[in-house]
């Protein structure tokens, strides 16, 4: 039996065996047999989605346990799945959210080896001090605190050695399993197993490259350089590579340590408002947002500023989407559901094929109960669950960045609740939405697109002669064939033919009349014979031909006149 590309090699076979064993251990034996052997044991009359969620199949909890036991790559995949409430039922989303990167840190000797190998210098030549105990450890990397020879305190983030090879191996297996699952299980086709793996590959590839995260930090720094209440760490590019990131260490208090924030003389409610304003700016001004603002990534500095760290997960919004979100927020803030529906329609989330009347009614029922309430009295998670209920009911597929945005909303709300905020998310966001619409992003986008298309057209014109030369050269060499197909000329051709025929008939009529006149006026007589017809005694053949010519010409002339009169084009 030929091995699939996903399980080639000894390590691949071993890993494949481990996955199969874990599936059987946690009650996925029937699923594994159907995936690998193509067995079909279920009653075909029973809906598979019901089976998958019912007691007869492994529970959502078992799925979480499988992912945890399979290791970091599958834990990361589960974390991605926890954001896909548009395809997974609520009970699975809740279980996937419990997946945490609970892995022990790598030994200091290995961390030191990564740094020295990447920077090609001894550790103590780069840092005056280096804390051997990690500050935080996750499945992909870990963070240490160090001090440069300049005296500046820095955070050093490193990628675990060998994790990229492990993830690449697991990705091959994930694609193999997803392909098999989509062939064997209807539920796998419903959730789009291969698309999930493809999305996971895109995310994890970005996480494995510290240069990408450093670029995100730099971009955030430029966006917020004139915003005094937000602080973004500086990147030390001279010490940053694909596997090592060195940046400014922000001293402060984690946002969930409310008592310590108060003890430092800082109002937690004001901190919450700063966080909401920051999030609003990211959405409505920059179109680039921090998509993982949990307490560990949000630091309250001792001077009252809020610092953001860990930019491994970020989201982008193009100008058109920003404009749509602004209309959406403003529509909600002003109870204008026509504006909300227009924004959803413009974003392509709903269309004319849906039952828009029912959708509008359901949307209004789901939203009205949340108006005018502060973060302390409202749950964005409840709003999220209501929205996802509509998404599942009307089969709406949300783009990745909008799902990231919804997840970020929930995390932002959680921080606001921890800090006891009375602020209303809609009220804080409303002025930023109005400012965005006032700036006329649609016009700017149109002008930008016009400029881009103009440059593209210039490029086409410059290359046009070369392309024509290449086509003619290949045609002459027999490697190309040019076919000209003209459409819409059949009617024109018919009209031309009619005109030509009428002209021909007219010429024949004219020629017949002239010929008949010449024959009748001729003094020559050919083949005369006697007849009593019409009282004539003698008649010549030339006279007969002349009369026939007159007759034919008269008939054709009458037909031509009638034809022209009928066409209405005299």
- Residue 79: pLDDT band (50, 70, 90) is confident
In sign, the C-alpha dihedral spanning 92, 94, 96, 102 is: negative
Can you say whether residue 136 is alpha, beta or left, with left for phi > 0 and alpha for psi between -120 and 50 degrees? beta
Taking residues 149-169, report their average pLDDT: 92
Phi first, then psi: give them for residue 343, nearest 5 degrees: -65, -40
**Catalytic option among 292, 338, 342, 355:** 292
pLDDT score, position 3 = 44
Say if residue 218's pLDDT is above 90: yes
Extended strands (E) in 136-224: 136-137, 141-148, 153-159
Helix (H, G, I), strand (E, B) or coil at 315: strand
d(CA 299, CA 307): 5
* CB contact at 8 A, 13 and 3: yes
Taking residues 127-149, report their average pLDDT: 92
Lowest mean pLDDT among 182-196, 263-277, 524-538: 524-538
Lowest mean pLDDT among 13-27, 35-49, 56-70, 338-352: 35-49
Q: What is the pTM of this model?
A: 0.64
Say if residue 7's pLDDT is above 90: no
Ranges 165-174, 287-296, 514-523, most confident: 165-174
d(CA 371, CA 446): 35
What digits encode the pLDDT tens for the residues 373-402? 555 555 556 666 777 777 778 877 777 777
Say if residue 83's pLDDT is above 60: yes
Taking residues 235-260, report their average pLDDT: 94
pLDDT score, position 465 = 73
Say if residue 499's pLDDT is above 50: yes
pLDDT score, position 426 = 67
Say if residue 451's pLDDT is above 60: no
Taking residues 61-66, report their average pLDDT: 86
Mean pLDDT, all residues of the chain: 77
- Residue 116: pLDDT band (50, 70, 90) is very high
All domains in the chain, ordered by first residue: 5-101+170-204 (no CATH), 107-160+209-249 (3.30.200.20), 254-444 (no CATH), 502-567 (no CATH)
d(CA 23, CA 42): 18
Longest dimension (CA), the chain: 144
The tokens describing 244, both together, are 């090592």
Query: 468: which residues sit within 8 A by CB, 6+ positions away?
Result: none
Per the annotation, the verdict on 292 as an active-site residue is yes
Q: Which tops the pLDDT comparison, 332 or 459?
A: 332
Taking residues 256-281, report their average pLDDT: 91
- Residue 355: pLDDT band (50, 70, 90) is confident
Taking residues 251-267, report their average pLDDT: 92
- Residue 57: pLDDT band (50, 70, 90) is very low
- Residue 343: pLDDT band (50, 70, 90) is confident
pLDDT score, position 25 = 80
* Residue 9: DSSP 8-state: S
The tokens describing 163, both together, are 């994790």
* Dihedral, CA of residue 427, residue 432, residue 435 and residue 439, to nearest 10: -150
- Residue 240: pLDDT band (50, 70, 90) is very high
d(CA 554, CA 299): 105
Q: Which tops the pLDDT comparison, 60 or 16?
A: 60
The tokens describing 389, both together, are 């209920």
pLDDT score, position 120 = 94
Say if residue 508's pLDDT is above 80: no
pLDDT score, position 261 = 93
Say if residue 23's pLDDT is above 80: no
The tokens describing 54, both together, are 């019912």
Can you say whether residue 342 is alpha, beta or left, with left for phi > 0 and alpha for psi between -120 and 50 degrees? alpha
Q: What percent of the chain has pLDDT above 90?
A: 21
Taking residues 223-229, report their average pLDDT: 94
What digits encode the pLDDT tens for the residues 180-197? 888 877 777 767 788 888
Which residue has tokens 């917020």? 224
Lowest mean pLDDT among 29-38, 56-65, 384-393: 29-38
Taking residues 130-157, report their average pLDDT: 93
Taking residues 360-377, report their average pLDDT: 68
Say if residue 269's pLDDT is above 80: yes
pLDDT score, position 196 = 83
């Amino acid at each position: 039996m030929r091995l699939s590309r996903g399980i080639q090699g000894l390590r691949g076979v071993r890993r494949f065996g481990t996955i199969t064993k874990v599936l059987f251990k946690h009650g996925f034996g029937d699923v594994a047999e159907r995936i690998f052997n193509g067995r079909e044991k279920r009653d075909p009359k029973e809906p598979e989605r019901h089976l998958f969620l019912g007691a007869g199949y492994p529970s959502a909890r078992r799925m979480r346990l499988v992912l945890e036991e399979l290791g970091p790559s599958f834990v990361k995949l589960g974390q991605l799945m926890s954001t896909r409430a548009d395809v997974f039922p609520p009970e699975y989303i809740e279980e996937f959210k419990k997946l945490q990167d609970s892995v022990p840190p790598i030994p200091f000797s290995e961390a030191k080896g990564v740094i020295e190998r990447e920077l090609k210098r001894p550790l103590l030549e780069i840092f005056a001090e280096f804390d051997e105990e990690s500050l935080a450890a996750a499945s992909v990397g870990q963070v240490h605190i160090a001090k440069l020879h300049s005296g500046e305190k820095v955070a050093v983030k490193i990628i675990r050695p060998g994790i990229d090879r492990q993830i690449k191996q697991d990705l091959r297996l994930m694609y193999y399993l997803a392909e098999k699952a989509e062939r064997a299980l209807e539920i796998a086709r419903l959730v789009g197993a291969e698309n999930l793996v493809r999305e996971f590959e895109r995310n994890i590839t970005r996480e494995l490259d510290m240069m990408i995260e450093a670029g995100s930090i730099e971009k955030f720094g430029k966006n917020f350089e004139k915003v005094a209440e937000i602080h973004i760490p500086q990147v030390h590019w001279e010490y940053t590579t694909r596997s090592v990131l060195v940046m400014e260490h922000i001293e402060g208090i984690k946002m969930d340590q409310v008592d310590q924030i108060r003890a430092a003389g800082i109002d937690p409610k004001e901190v919450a408002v700063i966080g909401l304003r920051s999030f609003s700016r990211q959405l409505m001004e920059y179109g680039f947002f921090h998509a993982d603002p949990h307490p560990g990534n949000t630091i309250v500095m001792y001077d009252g500023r809020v610092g953001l760290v860990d930019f491994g997960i970020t989201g982008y919004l193009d100008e058109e989407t920003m404009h749509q979100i602004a209309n959406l927020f403003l529509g909600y803030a002003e109870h204008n559901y026509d504006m909300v529906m227009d924004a959803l329609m413009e974003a392509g989330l709903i269309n004319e094929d849906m039952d828009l009347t029912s959708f509008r009614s359901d949307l209004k029922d789901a939203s009205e109960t949340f108006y005018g309430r502060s973060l302390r009295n409202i749950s964005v998670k409840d709003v999220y669950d209501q929205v996802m209920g509509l998404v599942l009911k009307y089969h709406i597929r949300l783009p990745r960045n909008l799902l990231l945005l919804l997840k970020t909303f929930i995390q932002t709300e959680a921080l606001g609740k921890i800090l006891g905020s009375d602020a209303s998310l809609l009220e804080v966001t409303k002025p930023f939405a109005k400012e965005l619409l006032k700036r006329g992003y649609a016009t700017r986008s149109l002008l930008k697109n016009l400029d881009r298309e103009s440059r593209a057209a210039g490029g086409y014109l410059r290359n046009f002669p070369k392309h024509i030369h290449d086509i003619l050269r290949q045609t002459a060499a027999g490697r190309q064939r040019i076919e000209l197909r003209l459409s819409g000329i059949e009617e024109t051709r018919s009209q031309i033919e009619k005109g030509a025929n009428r002209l021909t008939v007219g010429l024949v009529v004219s020629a017949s009349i002239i010929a008949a006149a010449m024959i009748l006026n001729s003094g020559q007589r050919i083949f005369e014979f006697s007849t009593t017809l019409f009282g004539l005694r003698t008649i010549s053949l030339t006279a007969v031909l002349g009369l026939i010519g007159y007759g034919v010409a008269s008939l054709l002339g009458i037909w031509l006149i009638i034809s022209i009169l009928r066409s209405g084009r005299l």
